[in-house]
Structure 1
Amino acid sequence: MRNRKIGFDYSSDHFEGCPVETTLDVIGGKWKGILLYHLIDGKKRFNEFRRLYPKITQRMLTLQLRELERDGVVHREVYQQVPPKVEYSLTEFGRTLEPIILHMKDWGEKYKDRVHSETALNTEDEI
């Protein structure tokens, strides 16, 4: 199980549990999947994420990116220049999540279509 300050507790018996739980510990939460999805297209800077999702707070974005970096999924590149430039990208290991993230995107589109169709049918039934 994840401890925000130190990452996973690999010594815990709980870590040997369900692999789906382990995956969700790494990519779960409101923002991580979204961040990973946008990194599939290439490197992003911190403020690019802020523009894409203005509702995410700076603190939460920082926490999510740090956790993804600590888990070896995201690489943080700091360029020594003024002003400082930082870019985030998927690591080679992070790229192994691409099919999962893209399947989640496809499933989300199908689910939205299904809900939209059901809503339209229910609206027609009420008329």
Structure 2
Amino acid sequence: MASAPKETLCPVRRAMTLIGSKWKVLLLQNLRDGRQRYGELKRRLPDISEKMLIHELKQLVEAGLVTKHAYPEIPPRVEYELTANGQQALPVVDSIIAFGRQYL
């Protein structure tokens, strides 16, 4: 009998799968201010590579934490925004911020 993936049985594993990278947490933090264009997110996170930014945004969209709005314009315009589920992750982000401040 096949067992269920461990992340479906453990809420900590599931949460870490959804938001467990530093870039995902930083993206959620930046998106709390509202809809952001791709270029603005890149400017706010200058240390992230293009490849990693694309990858992390794609995963957040697939997880249902962020929505992607693509506009049929030239040049293309793409914006990202937190979903209701993404908003629910913000208290976790706030706790990480508070924890980090204790160690600054």
Common fold, TM-score beyond 0.5? yes
TM-superposition CA deviations, 1:17-39 (whole Å, max 9, x none) = 32111101100112000000010
Q: Runs of 5+ in structure 1 lacking a partner?
A: 1-10, 113-127
- Secondary structure of 2:22 counterpart: coil
Corresponding position of 1:48: 40
Q: For structure 2, which runs of at least 5 residues remain unmatched after alignment?
A: none
Partner of 1:7: none
Identity across aligned pairs (percent)?
A: 36
1:25 — aligned with what? 17
Q: What amino acid maps onto 2:67 in structure 1? A: H
Please list the CA deviations of residues 59-118 of structure 1 after superposition, one character each: whole Å capped at 9, or x if unmatched: 000000000000000000011111111000001111111111111111111121xxxxxx
> Relative CO higher for 1 or 2, CA cutoff 8 Å, sep ≥ 6?
2
Size of the aligned set, in residue pairs, is 102
Which structure would you say has the larger Rg?
A: 1
Q: CA, structure 1 residues 13+28, in 2 after alignment: closer, same or farther (shift >3 Å)?
A: closer
> Residues of 1 paired with 2:53 and 2:44: CA distance?
12
1:90 partnered with 2:82: yes
Moved more, 66-75 or 47-56: 47-56
Query: Shift of residue 43 of structure 1?
Result: 1.1
**Structure 1 equivalent of residue 70 of structure 2:** 78
Partner secondary structure for residue 76 of structure 1 = strand
In the TM superposition, residue 16 of structure 1 has moved relative to its aligned partner by 3.1
